[in-house]
Amino acid sequence: MNRREEADTPAIVVAGPSSSLTIPGIIVSQIVHAISERNHVVRIDVDSTTDFDAGLHRSPSLAAAHHSINNGSIVTHEAPGHPRLKAQAFKEWIPTDSRAAIAFAWPGLDSAWIRQFLSAANAAKTPSMVVCVSLPRSNHAQIGAMADAIIGSDLVLTGNAFEANALTKYFRGAGPVVENHQALSLHGRGERSAIHRITAFLPRDNFETLATLLSAFDAIPEAWIDSYHLQVIMRFSDDKAERMVAESYHADSVELVGNDLSSADLKRTCTDSSALIIADPAFDSRAFSIAVDCGVAIVVLASSQLPAVGRGYIGALLADMNRPVSVHVGLTHALRLAELHFPRPDAWNDLVNRLLGVSERASTPSPAFAPRSHATSTLQ
């Protein structure tokens, strides 16, 4: 789509967190990217603090790195911090010819701005939608806290049927249509284990990457190491790999596996692991494909080139296979995500089709999806 076509095409406005180092920001980027493949998108970055990128405890997202290559059909604005200025900005950035306005909600993050965003969309007679992620530890209070902010939308999508039913009860028939969608569910990995089970897949006889991995693992404090177990899966032709593991500082917590694994064994290994490390995966990597099916957090070790895998998979982090500190940070980040079950990449396209399908119907008003002129909360 060229710039002239963009100017003549009604925009789809998407608002939410922006940081590509956090899961909320990565999900918003994925939704924006999926929409932008065939539509002009206005993205509004709404961040509750200015220090979301601070610290050295996060690794870059592989999916976000792929997105940054081509974002020509996306216009980005940064929402002001002051509520009054924010409300004015929303009115300016959601013109009357907008095709849809989509807000992103994350349990525990500030959602007060969503009320202003929906008000601006309603004033512009633009179909409005809210997508709400469902987390393993979401609770009734968090659902209730979001409900009053999102009642003015035409459609709410959440990650599971329980939360969809809870919101429907909150709205008491006076709110939006509420449905659940698999792309918004991060449930399914179970509670975090007391032992961090890490599995690393390395290419055959890749002793350089093995040395980097062992150095990164040795950086774990000695007082914590009893809670860690590293399994290295790497075919090797001599005893060098075994000697390297034996000479590592945390050798007692490292297991080296040199034989091939069947697909069933791979799936079991991925399912049982708190996090995975995959070095230089090829486009048809069996380990990466099965890991995605299992929804587990993956640290992808790469050198100078961006790996061909990982498009659309929000659970993949990027680390430098030549820098132990980068691998250590990636592993630490991935272990914090161990409870989350990440959706398959194709789930995002299905989600976008659902959202845009509503905006299409709302352009010819029907009782269910006509844009609201106002909404009165039943929760006050």
What 3-state class would DSSP assign to 117?
Answer: helix
Is the model's pLDDT at 6 over the cut of 50?
no
**Do the beta carbons of residue 191 and residue 200 sit within 8 Å?**
no
What is the reported pLDDT for 357? Answer: 81
> What digits encode the pLDDT tens for the residues 332-370?
999 999 999 999 999 999 999 999 886 565 555 443 444
What is the reported pLDDT for 26? Answer: 93
> What digits encode the pLDDT tens for the residues 114-136?
999 999 999 999 999 999 999 98
Strands, DSSP E only, in 126-253? 128-132, 155-158, 177-180, 196-201, 228-233
Q: Model-level pTM?
A: 0.86
| Long-range contact set of residues 168-173: C-beta below 8 Å, sequence gap at least 24 | 170/143, 170/144, 170/378, 170/379, 171/147, 171/378, 172/378
- Give the whole-angstrom CA distance, residue 256 versus residue 53: 36
- Give the whole-angstrom CA distance, residue 253 versus residue 249: 9
What is the reported pLDDT for 234? Answer: 96
Tokens representing 77? 């604005």
- Give the whole-angstrom CA distance, residue 147 versus residue 171: 8
**Do the beta carbons of residue 183 and residue 198 sit within 8 Å?**
no
Burial code (b: 16+ CB inside 10 Å, e: under 16) for 316-355 equals: bbbbbbeebebbbbbbbbbbebbbbbbbebebbeebbebb
* Strand-by-strand arrangement of the 298-302 sheet: 254-257, 228-233, 196-201, 275-279, 298-302, 316-320
Is the model's pLDDT at 53 over the cut of 90?
no
- Give the whole-angstrom CA distance, residue 39 versus residue 71: 11
**Do the beta carbons of residue 89 and residue 59 sit within 8 Å?**
no
Mean pLDDT for all residues in the chain? 87
Most confident option among 55-69, 151-165, 198-212: 198-212
What is the reported pLDDT for 54? Answer: 44
Tell me how many helices (H) and strands (E) the chain has.
Answer: 13, 13
What is the reported pLDDT for 322? Answer: 93
**Cα-only R_g, the chain:** 23
Is the model's pLDDT at 173 over the cut of 90?
no
What 3-state class would DSSP assign to 26?
Answer: helix
Question: Distance of alpha carbon 325 from its chain centroid, rounded?
Answer: 23
